[in-house]
Every structure is written in C-alpha cells, then in structure tokens.
Amino acid sequence: MRIGVDVGGTKIEAIALDSAGKIAARRRMATPRGDYDGTLDAIAGLVRELETETRTRARVGLCMPGALSPATGLIKNANSTWLIGRPFDTDLARVLDRPVRLANDANCFALSEATDGAGAGARVVFGVILGTGVGGGIVVDGAPLTGPNAIAGEWGHNPLPWPRDDERPGPECYCGRRGCIETFLSGPGLARDHRVATGEDLSAEAIVSRAGDAITRYTERLARALAHVINLLDPDIIVLGGGLSNIESLYDEVPALWSDFVFSDHVATRLVRNRHGDSSGVRGAAWLWPK
Ligand SMILES: [Zn+2]
C-alpha cells in the first residue's frame, strides 16, 4: 500500500492507493495555515487514520507547491509560505518514523498521468498544468526528472517563444520578468488578454465557454509554447491538466498548429487530456514510490 498526501494552501488530502492503482481510502482536512508544527501533525494524523482503516503500514509520498532546494535541503518556491526555509521532508520522516518522498505539484501530476493515466506506457511524458499558474513536469521511464536545481520542466517562466510585435515585452510577471509563458497561458493570463482586447472583465471559465477570439489566441500561443518543449525534450506525449485543459478544441487545434514551429518534417508527439483530474496530486504523490 502507498499513501499519497497533497498539501494545498487550503486543504490537505490523503489517499491510500493499492498496487493496482485503486483508491482504498481517502481523507481530507483544512490546512492549518501559517502553522508549521500543526501541518506536520495534521499529515501524521491523516496517515495514521488511513493506516488504521486499511490495516497496513504504507510508504508515504507528498505533493506540494514548491520544492526542496538541493542546495540547502529546505523548501523553496512554496505558496504555503510557512513551509519555506524548513526541512519539511526530514521533519516528516521523523514524525512518521519512515523515509518520505516529496515532489512539487507539476511533477506529481506528470507522474500520476505517466503511471496509470493518459500517458501510461509512454517513455517520456511532459505534464502541463494550465491553471492559476502554469507549471510543467517531466517523467522519463516512470520516474520524475528533477535535476540539480529541482526545476526540470518549469517552462512557465520562460518567455513566450516566437513573439509577435504586440506580444512584446508582454505582461509583467510576479517572477520579476515580462512576457513569461505563464502570463499568457494561465487562467488570469487568459482573462487579462480578453480584457485588454475587449475591455470586458470576464472569468477564465466564462471566456472558455464562449470560445471566441481570446481562445483562438490562447490556442496559437500554447502551440508555440509546446513546440519549444518538443524541440528540446521530444516527448512521446504531452498531457494537459488544470482548469484550462477543459478547452476541448485544444487537442485537435494545437497539434495542427505546432508543426509550423517544430524542427521536424513530421511531429509524432501526442497531445492528450489528463485522466485523473483533481486526484493527480495525491495519486502522483503515492507513485513517488514506484511499482
Ligand atoms: Zn515569470
């Protein structure tokens, strides 16, 4: 049995996953915001409850926004800011009395889809979260690729490639630069693009349901952004997740557009929608302990 825990800014979710990938038990609770020891206790409590219910001792993996810095062994880049600068994995290993594995949400998403989701059986999977932010994760032969900086796949803060004149220098990004892929392809980025073009303030969901010009621009920008990834990584499959992965037309239209930018006579990479949806965080966390 594996236990996967998804530590979000508002809730912590935990599942017990059997070896066939079936969820045997599930727990959810509000995140003790701002309380580091409380967060450790909450996770330990959820693990204990799941182990009691399933009558096993499990391996535990964690998914969180943010990463362990290989340089310091401490959490960095987390929007749950009370975890930043803490040795979260070693503290958890202590309270749970076992080693734990930890990965960021994009890596967990990619791993979940690569293991038994839409990317199952593919050798190189690029998983993309198109939501409030834009993140990416890479899985090769069933294992997440992290790298010495723990940022492999984080292309959301690369610039939008092959920009048109009206896309330069691009919107300001919280990372301090302008024109990042995230500023165009996140939900807030889509809403901004629609607002600038029409003067109308709409949510990303409303813009998606109308399927107008903003979606046409979004589709073409996503094609360029992914062509960049294909040129560098040449993945077998690209899996989309997050709220904007619900734009049905992307799956036909983006591959029709990206061939103009990919340096190849033919593009065999497939673009697919995720299978596990909101469960990809907990499922990917559990699969940090491979079969
Ligand atoms: Zn940025």
Structure confidence at residue 67 as a pLDDT band (50, 70, 90) = confident
Taking ligand 1, which is a single-atom ion, which protein residues have CB atoms under 5 Å away? 157, 173, 175, 180
SS3 192: helix
Distance 259 CA to ligand 1 centre (A): 26
> How far, in Å, are 29, 172, 203 from residue 186 at the CA level?
27, 13, 12
CA of 217 to the centre of ligand 1 (A): 19
pTM across the whole model: 0.94
Q: How far apart are CA 143 and CA 42, in angstroms?
A: 28
- Say if residue 76's pLDDT is above 90: no
Ligand 1: centre distance to CA 172 (Å): 8
The count of residues in the chain is: 291
Report the distance separating Cα 171 and Cα 91, nearest Å: 39
For residue 103, report the distance from its CA to the centre of ligand 1, in Å.
Answer: 21
Q: Which two tokens stand for residue 215?
A: 């979606």
What's the CA-to-centroid distance between 183 and ligand 1, angstroms?
A: 7
Average pLDDT for 103-117: 95
Residue whose structure tokens are 């508002």 = 10
Q: Using a pLDDT cut of 70, give the percent of the chain over it.
A: 100
Can you tell me the mean pLDDT for 167-178? 94
- Whether the CB-CB separation of 78 and 84 falls below 8 Å is answered with yes
User: What is the percent of the chain with per-residue pLDDT over 90, rounded to a whole number?
Assistant: 90
